[in-house]
A and B are shown apart, each in its own frame.
Chain A
Amino acid sequence: MSYLGKIFAIAYKDLLHEYRSRETITTMMIFSFLVVVIFNFTFDPGSSYALEAAPGIIWVAFTFSGMLGLNRSFIYEIDKGCFHGLLLSPIDRGAIYLGKMIGNIIFMTLVELLTLPLFIILFNLQFSDFLLPLLLIIFLATIGFAAVGTLFSAIAVNTKAREIMLPILLFPVVVPVILSAVNATGGLLRSDDWNQVFAWVRILLAFDVIFVAICYATFEYVVEE
């Protein structure tokens, strides 16, 4: 099987495992929905306050639910030593990282796509003209978040306070992703000039390229004792 085939075999295994257990997505969905619904109680739908706060609210929902997913990403791997099974396989450790990262991106994207309609309805937002750019921003931010999160999840899973350790490690590094995503989403909502929005998209793109490469290269050293 080719290198790509092995990467997708790992991602497919994660999807199959999640399809059977439904542990990760359910937790992420409930959290994400709760954030959107609770914040909706605070603001009048369609008010200027709601418009201002909306980008922050949606990214709070996405990043924190993503954190829950990333936390679980390696937990079931270490449960019966399965992660050792992966490491003992004759594949480049970078391929394991990419397979796990793709799995995480799919889980996060799925939750985001299900949360987004609820968010748009509850906050009475007009995204119809900007739906494609918004989906692009969400996808790029998710890649950056999952790229760093997958690496740090592999580190945090071997620590005692892993639920706390992951956000402590992850958030300082993904600040550029969250900042860019919030500002780009806000720009779309305010109907800012596309060039202004695209400046943030460029940062997201650059972050994704740089951090996927760095995390891919360092994963081997992270997982070996």
Chain B
Amino acid sequence: MIVVKNLTKSFGTHYALRGINLEIPTGTFLSIFGPNGAGKTTFIRILSTLSRPSTGEIYFDDKNLRDHAESFRQRIGVIGHSTFLYDELTAFENLQFYAKLYSLPDARKRIQQALEEVGLLARADDFVRTFSRGMQQRLSIARAMLHQPDILLLDEPFTGLDQHASSMLKHWLSELKSEKRTILLVTHDLTHGLELADQVAIFVRGKVAYFESADHVDETEFQAHYHKVVAAGGAA
């Protein structure tokens, strides 16, 4: 269970997050929508321990993130705008490097398995710089899943993917969802986000303007509501 209490983040006088309160049960797929500048990426950065909150607390299974950041990082996988991959290293070497940082036992077998899952085993010894954007994103998925995290934080993972890579990612996310991992997906793509979600949230101007179970959400109605909430600056 992830519990977020009164989370704020300010950059000088600008508040990116203004008192976020959320409870995300274990095994939930939460899709977070919102316009640019709503604080979605900042929220993911704080959850992933890349950034410290200005005020507020985050608890993972009743443990405060502030005090257990290092052990928590062992449990999360992050896929963001960037791939976190080194161009001058091969696909295998990239994963091998991360396997060392995560102290993975039997790393070689695990890397081969991860590469096979994303369809890149045949390209294991090729340099990442020779990969297309879609292939790099698939390798990024392998990197994020290498240590079998039980919490996944995804920030716009569909950006820049062609249709094939995009449907592969969607299929992969559906599989992960069935494995009862906790997944937080930040996206602008309402269709993708709604299709996969157990819960949906809309962030507007650093606040949670909408939070609902996805079972109660109809896509057409949600789209209309989304535009209304965003236009009203979160007040609707």
Question: Which residues does A use to contact B, with CB under 8 Å?
Answer: 1, 5-6, 9-10, 13, 16-17, 20-21, 76, 79-82, 84-92, 224-225
Contacts and interface: CB of A to CB of B under 8 A. Distances in A.
A92 B74 CA distance: 12
Interface residues of B, number: 31
Interface stretch (B43-51, B57-65, B156-164, B167-175): B43-51
B88 interface: yes
Contacts of B73: 88-90
B86 A84 contact: no
A6 B100 contact: yes
Contacts of B80: 81, 84
Contact of B82 (A16, A81, A91, A224): A81
A80 B70 contact: no
Contacts of A84: 50, 78, 80, 82, 84
A188 to B, nearest CB: 39
Contacts of A16: 88-89, 93
Contacts, number: 82
B185 to A, nearest CB: 17
B98 A89 contact: yes
A202 to B, nearest CB: 37
Contacts of B81: 81
B70 A91 contact: yes
Contacts of A225: 45, 50-52
A80 to B, nearest CB: 5
Contacts of A224: 50-52
Q: Which 10 A-B pairs have the closest CB atoms?
A: A81-B82, A85-B84, A90-B74, A89-B101, A20-B88, A9-B100, A90-B73, A225-B51, A1-B103, A17-B88
Contacts of B50: 84, 87-88, 224-225
B48 A88 contact: yes
A198 to B, nearest CB: 40
A17 B86 contact: yes
Given A6-B101, A81-B80, A81-B83, A88 B89 contact: no
B87 interface: yes
Contacts of B85: 80, 82, 85
A82 B87 CA distance: 10
A95 to B, nearest CB: 9
A21 B100 CA distance: 22
B207 interface: no
A11 to B, nearest CB: 11
B97 interface: yes
Given A86-B101, A225-B52, A92 B86 contact: no
Given A87-B50, A225-B52, A82 B101 contact: no
Contacts of B98: 85, 89
A13 B97 contact: yes
A6 B45 CA distance: 23
Contacts of A5: 100
Nearest to B143: A85
Contacts of B74: 90
Interface in B92-116: 93, 97-98, 100-103
27 contacts: A1-B100, A1-B101, A5-B100, A6-B103, A9-B100, A13-B86, A13-B89, A16-B88, A17-B86, A20-B89, A76-B87, A81-B80, A81-B84, A82-B84, A82-B86, A84-B78, A84-B80, A86-B101, A87-B50, A88-B73, A88-B84, A89-B102, A90-B70, A90-B74, A90-B103, A91-B101, A225-B51
